[in-house]
Amino acid sequence: MTCEEDGPRVATRRGLLAGAGATAATAAGAGLAAPAGAAPRRRRADVVVVGAGLSGLIAARDVAAAGRSVLVVEASGRVGGRVRNVSIGGGEVVEGGAEYIGPTQSRMAALAAQLGVATFPAYNTGSNLYVREGRVTPYDALGLPPDPEGLPDAGGAIAKLDALAAEVDLDAPWRSPRAREWDAQTLETWLLANTTTASGRLLLDVAVTSVFSFEPRELSLLFVLFYIRAAGDQRRPGSLVRLISVAGGAQERRFAGGSQRIPLALAERLGRRRLILDAPVRRIAQSGSGVRLEAGDTVVRGRQVIVALPTTLAGRIAYAPALPARRDQLTQRLPCGSVIKVHAVYDRPFWRDAGLTGQIVSDAGPARVSFDNSPPRGRRGVLMAFIEASDARAYAGRPQALRAAALENFSTAFGARAARPRRFLITDWDAEPYSRGGPVGCAGPGVLTGFGAALRRPVGRIHWAGTDTATHWNGYMEGALRAGERAAREALRAL
Amino acid sequence: MTCEEDGPRVATRRGLLAGAGATAATAAGAGLAAPAGAAPRRRRADVVVVGAGLSGLIAARDVAAAGRSVLVVEASGRVGGRVRNVSIGGGEVVEGGAEYIGPTQSRMAALAAQLGVATFPAYNTGSNLYVREGRVTPYDALGLPPDPEGLPDAGGAIAKLDALAAEVDLDAPWRSPRAREWDAQTLETWLLANTTTASGRLLLDVAVTSVFSFEPRELSLLFVLFYIRAAGDQRRPGSLVRLISVAGGAQERRFAGGSQRIPLALAERLGRRRLILDAPVRRIAQSGSGVRLEAGDTVVRGRQVIVALPTTLAGRIAYAPALPARRDQLTQRLPCGSVIKVHAVYDRPFWRDAGLTGQIVSDAGPARVSFDNSPPRGRRGVLMAFIEASDARAYAGRPQALRAAALENFSTAFGARAARPRRFLITDWDAEPYSRGGPVGCAGPGVLTGFGAALRRPVGRIHWAGTDTATHWNGYMEGALRAGERAAREALRAL
C-alpha cells in the first residue's frame, strides 16, 4: 500500500487505471468474498491470464496478436502489479515500485519505443555521498565509495561472484557443475569466507539488500549467482556491478511519465473488455476439456491458463486437481523480499545546487541507499530510498517512525532542508494485499536444486509466467516481459 | 494421499472418521468450490477452530471444558490431520503419519491415559542393520552403527550440536546469544566444518533427513538447534540422539490401535455437532465485533478464532483485513518437509526369526531408514520406511517405481522374502491436499531471526496453533497438543 505519512495524517490510497474507481483496499475487503447469493457472471476465452502485471499483460498481448481470444483477470482495481505510479501532486508522478531500465534490457527498450513511452537518464551528475559512522564523504558518481579498506575487499568479492556466476546454467541453475555446493550455503557464509574487513562487508551488505530486498543470510549462493548471470546478455555478461549501478547499470534510465505508463498503455491497447478487475482468483480447476476459474464474482472458462503472479501468491490459489507435490512445495519456498519505497518531495532538487546526485550509500538505516527521483523537468525535487529486508521488517506498520528515521538519514547527507519535505510518501510492498513483498521471489539454500525444475514446468493446462520465472533479468520488468512472452508461446502451442 | 501400490493396481483412499463418507479427495474436488447459488449454512460459536488435527481438537476440548461454545472446521472428510491410521486388512492398522511417543512427552502420555489408549514398545529386540555400499552389517539395537571411521566423527558433531542447542532460547530462538551467527548458515555448512569423514557425513545426513524430512542444506542451524533443544524437558535436556532413537527416544512406544485413535477419541468426546467436515476455510474476516469464516458451504461466526494449520497452509487463507506484513511473509517462509511413508505388509514379521529388529540405516535410498511397524499381536509383519526430502521429491507421483526401489532396499537388508509383500502402502504427505508435506514447517536461514516473532503473536482475534508453533517437541504430536492448549488459553482470555 502507498500512504502519505505527513505527521499524524491518515494514509490515503490511489487507484491508477483511469476509469477504475476501486482500489486495492476495496478489492481486499469485497473482492475476496464468495458471491453472496447472486449468480456469478460468466466469461470465456481461449486463454485466461491471471494477473494484470507486466508479465500477464504482455502474455495477453501476444495471445491476442496470434488471433486467439484472451481475458486478463486481476485481483486489484488497477493494472501494473509491482509497477505503479504514485502522484506527488502538481500532475507529477514517481514510481512506487519498479522504475528503471538499463543496458541489455532489450525487450523493455523495444516495448517502450513501440508504445511511445520515452526514457530519460536518471539524475547522476556530480557527487554521491558515502555515510559511515556519521561522517559524510562525497565521491564521484561515476566512481566508487571512498573506503580505502573496504573497497578493495568488496571489489575482490564482487569480481569472484561475477566469475562464478559465469558458470551458472541460466535455464537450469540446478544443473550447473557446482550447483550442489553453491546451493548448500547462504550468501552470508560465502561472504564471510571471501572478505576480510568490516567495511568490505558493509559495502556488500548494502549492495545485496538493495538488489534483492533480502539479507545475505536469507539467500542461496546459487540463487545469487543465477541472478547475477541473468543480468546481462551474450555480449555483456551479467555482473553484480551492473545490478547496483546507475551509469551503465540497472538504474540507468527512467520512463517519462512513470513506468506504469507501460502497463497502462498495454491495457489500453488490449481493451477494457479483455480485462476483469477486482477479481481475485480463488480457484483454478482443469479437466480434459478446459479450465474454469473462480474470480471475484465471475466464473471464467478457457482452454489454457497463464498464471502471472509471484510464485508464492500462485500457491494461495486452490487448484483442482491439486498441484503436483514438487510444484506445490516450490510455492512454499520462494518468498518475496521485504521492501518499502519512500519518497520525500521538496520544492526543488536543492542537493543538485551543491553538486550532489542525491545518491547515498550509508551504514545507518533505514534509508541506506537513495536516489534523485525528481520528475524530469525539475518542477519538484524528490529523494527516493529503498527500505530493505530487516529495515523493512523493523518499520512495518510504523509510518511515522519510518518518516522520522528516513528524514534523519536524508538530513545527515543533504542538510537540514531535507528534514522538511512537502510530502513524504510510503509504498509498502509487504503490506500490499496482492503483492505481499517485492521485488521478486528469492530462493534460500536447497530450493533451486530441490524444486527449481517446477518453476516453469506447465501443469496440464496451466502455464507459469511472472518475473520469478525469467532466465534473463529475473526480478526486473525485463524478466516479467520475457516470462510473459514465453508463457504466451507455450499456451498458444497448447491450444 | 495414501494409495496401495500393488503392481499396476489403482490407488485407493480411506476416510477414517466413522460415519464420514467423504474423503479428502472428494473434498478437494467439491469442497473448495464456492457455494453455487444455494444460501450458505450458518453456524456460530464463541471460538471457531480451523483444522481438526490434534492441535485443533485439543484447543476445542479446552474451550468446551471452560464452558464456552466451540466449532471445529476441517477441510478434509476426517479428523487427525497428519495423524492418520491406514488399514492393512484383517482389522489391523498402521500409522500413515505421526505414530510414536517417547520420554519427556508428558502431555501426550497423560492424554492417552485419559482417553484409555494404551501404548506398547516399538519392536526393538535383536540387531539393526547398517547397509553401506551393498554390504550389510548387523549391530545391537541398543548400540550404534558399526562404522569405526564415521561413528566417532558423527558422534562428535552430535555432541557439539547438543551442547550448542542448550544455549537456545526456546521461547524466542532469535534472542539466543548466538542467534545471528547460527541463523546465517545452513546445517550443511556447519556439518562440513565440523566433520572430517564421508562416513560421518552419511550417518548425519541420514539422521537429519529422517528427523526433519529436509536435507541439511535446506535448514538453518539455529532452527535445528531450537528443534533439538525442544526435544526434552528441564531434567532431561533435548538431544539429537533422543530424536533419532527408539529405546529412550522419540520412537520408543506406539499406540494400541494406531495413533489416530487419539484424535478420533477427542472428536468423539467433543461431539459430532461441534465438528464441520469437508469445509475448507477460504476466508477469515474480523471486525470489532467478531470473526466470520467462509468454509465450504458454511459461514461460521465467532468471537475468537484459532487457526491450527501448518503455517504455510494458514497463509493460503484470505484474511480481511490483510495480515500484518511480517506474519504474511512468515507464511511464505516456513515450508513443510517432503516425506512419504511406505509400509510393506507380510504374513508375519519374518525378520524377527533371524534376530533382526527390522531397523536399517542405509546409504542407498529411497528407504534409508526402516522400522518394524507390525501390529502388536504379530498377526501381520510390517516393514515401514520414511522416504525423505530429495528421495521423496525423486519418487513423487511414481508409486510403482517407489515400490520397486523400496522393496529392493528391504531385500538387500532382509532377503528375497522381503521383495514379495502381501501389500505395499504409500502415504504421500506432499500430495495430501490439506497437508502438502510433513512432518512440520522448518526454517531455512534468516527466517527465525527475521520472522520468528510472528509465529505465535495473535493477529487481533486470530490465534495460531499447530505443532509449528510449539516450544516443546516442535514437530511432534506432543508439540501439537501443547500448542493447542496454549492457543485455547489465549482465546479464552480474549473472550
Which of A15 and B200 is assigned the larger pLDDT?
A: B200
Q: Do A451 and B324 touch (CB under 8 A)?
A: no
Question: A interface mutation test: which of B13, B26, B189, B309 has the most A CBs within 10 A?
Answer: B189
Q: Which of B189, B326, B436 sits opposite A393 (nearest CB)?
A: B326
Please report, rounded to a whole number, the percentage of residues in chain A having pLDDT higher than 90: 91
Query: What are the helix (H) ranges across A260-305?
Result: 261-270
Contact indicator for A128, A357 with CB cutoff of 8 Å: yes
Q: How distant is the alpha carbon of residue B181 from its chain centre?
A: 28
What CATH number does residue B171 fall under?
1.10.405.10
Q: Do B445 and A184 touch (CB under 8 A)?
A: no
Q: Inform me whether the pLDDT recorded for A5 exceeds 80.
A: no
Final residue before a domain boundary, out of A187, A209, A244: A244
Residue A434 lies in a domain: no
Final residue before a domain boundary, out of A214, A244, A274: A244
Average per-residue pLDDT in chain B? 93
Cell numbers given for B55: 492441535
- Are A329 and A341 contained in the same domain? no
Query: How near does any CA of chain A get to the CA of B339, in Å?
Result: 10
- Are A371 and A328 contained in the same domain? no
Closest A-chain CA to B429: A325
- Say whether residue B312 is in contact with chain A using an 8 A CB cutoff: yes
Predicted confidence band of residue B27 (pLDDT cuts 50, 70, 90): very low
- Are B186 and B215 contained in the same domain? yes
Query: How near does any CA of chain A get to the CA of B190, in Å?
Result: 10
Query: How near does any CA of chain B get to the CA of A367, in Å?
Result: 18
Q: Inform me whether the pLDDT recorded for B15 exceeds 60.
A: no
Between residues 165 and 204 of chain A, which touch chain B (CB distance below 8 Å)?
Answer: 183-186, 188-189, 192
Contacts of B322 in chain A (CB under 8 A): 28, 431, 433
What is the value of pTM for the model shown?
Answer: 0.94
Q: Inform me whether the pLDDT recorded for B163 exceeds 60.
A: yes
What CATH number does residue A36 fall under?
3.50.50.60
Predicted confidence band of residue B17 (pLDDT cuts 50, 70, 90): very low
Domain range for A31 is 24-81+260-334+442-494
- Are A174 and A113 contained in the same domain? no
Query: Which of B308, B383, B380 is CA-nearest to residue B341?
Result: B383
**Mean pLDDT along residues A294-302:** 97
Note the pLDDT tens digit of each residue in B205-256. 999 999 999 999 999 999 999 999 999 998 999 999 999 999 999 999 999 9
**Mean pLDDT along residues A277-289:** 97
**Mean pLDDT along residues A3-21:** 37
Residues 6 or more apart whose Cβ sits within 8 Å of residue A293: A48, A50, A73, A281, A283, A284, A285, A299, A300, A301, A302, A305
Question: A interface mutation test: which of B281, B329, B341 has the most A CBs within 10 A?
Answer: B329
Q: Do A329 and B430 touch (CB under 8 A)?
A: yes
Residue A138 lies in a domain: no
Between residues 281 and 300 of chain A, which touch chain B (CB distance below 8 Å)?
Answer: 282-283, 294
**Among the ranges given (A12-21, B50-59, B271-280), the one the predictor scored with the smallest mean pLDDT:** A12-21
Note the pLDDT tens digit of each residue in B389-420. 999 999 999 999 999 999 999 999 999 999 99
Residue A344 has a CB neighbour count (10 Å cut-off) of 26
3-state secondary structure A362-375: ECCCCCCEEEECCC
Please report, rounded to a whole number, the percentage of residues in chain A having pLDDT higher than 70: 92
**Mean pLDDT along residues A155-176:** 98
**Among the ranges given (A2-11, A345-354, B152-161, B167-176), the one the predictor scored with the smallest mean pLDDT:** A2-11
Query: How near does any CA of chain B get to the CA of A274, in Å?
Result: 24
**Mean pLDDT along residues A180-207:** 98
Burial bucket for residue A377 (CB in 10 Å: 0-12, 13-18, 19+): exposed
**Among the ranges given (A113-122, A259-268, B23-32), the one the predictor scored with the smallest mean pLDDT:** B23-32
Contact indicator for A82, A335 with CB cutoff of 8 Å: no
Q: Inform me whether the pLDDT recorded for B11 exceeds 60.
A: no
- Are A217 and A284 contained in the same domain? no
Q: Do B34 and A185 touch (CB under 8 A)?
A: no
- Are A29 and A92 contained in the same domain? no
Q: Do A336 and B329 touch (CB under 8 A)?
A: yes
**Mean pLDDT along residues A381-403:** 98
Contacts of A283 in chain B (CB under 8 A): 32-34
Residue A376 lies in a domain: yes
User: What pLDDT does residue B35 have?
Assistant: 44
User: What pLDDT does residue A10 have?
Assistant: 27
User: What pLDDT does residue A1 have?
Assistant: 53
Residue B14 lies in a domain: no
Residues 6 or more apart whose Cβ sits within 8 Å of residue B417: B346, B350
Predicted confidence band of residue B144 (pLDDT cuts 50, 70, 90): very high
Q: Do A184 and B217 touch (CB under 8 A)?
A: yes
Q: What are phi and psi of A362, to 5 degrees?
A: -130, 145
- The bridge status of strand B462-464 relative to strand B304-307 is parallel
Residues 6 or more apart whose Cβ sits within 8 Å of residue B153: B195, B196, B197, B199, B200, B201, B203
Q: Inform me whether the pLDDT recorded for A85 exceeds 80.
A: yes
Q: Do A433 and B280 touch (CB under 8 A)?
A: no
- Say whether residue A451 is in contact with chain B using an 8 A CB cutoff: yes
Question: B interface mutation test: which of A218, A316, A340 has the most B CBs within 10 A?
Answer: A218
Q: What are phi and psi of A138, to 5 degrees?
A: -75, 155
Q: Do A390 and B450 touch (CB under 8 A)?
A: yes
Distances (CA, A) of A419 to A346, A375, A407, B236: 10, 20, 5, 57
Domain count across chain B: 3
- Say whether residue B34 is in contact with chain A using an 8 A CB cutoff: yes
- Are B374 and B325 contained in the same domain? no
- Are A174 and A223 contained in the same domain? yes
3-state secondary structure B101-155: ECCCCHHHHHHHHHHCCCEEECCCCCEEEEEECCEEEEEECCCCCCCCCHHHHHH
Final residue before a domain boundary, out of B244, B278, B303: B244
Q: Which of B184, B218, B329 sits opposite A335 (nearest CB)?
A: B329
- Are A226 and A282 contained in the same domain? no
Q: Do A446 and B294 touch (CB under 8 A)?
A: no
Q: Inform me whether the pLDDT recorded for B97 exceeds 70.
A: yes
Residues 6 or more apart whose Cβ sits within 8 Å of residue B126: B141, B352, B355, B356, B357
Question: B interface mutation test: which of A13, A23, A32 has the most B CBs within 10 A?
Answer: A32
Helix (H, G, I), strand (E, B) or coil at A41: strand
- Are B157 and B240 contained in the same domain? yes
Residue B2 lies in a domain: no
User: What pLDDT does residue B12 have?
Assistant: 30
- Are A171 and A234 contained in the same domain? yes
Query: Which of A317, A258, A323 is CA-nearest to residue A50?
Result: A317
- Are B424 and B445 contained in the same domain? no
User: What pLDDT does residue A13 have?
Assistant: 32
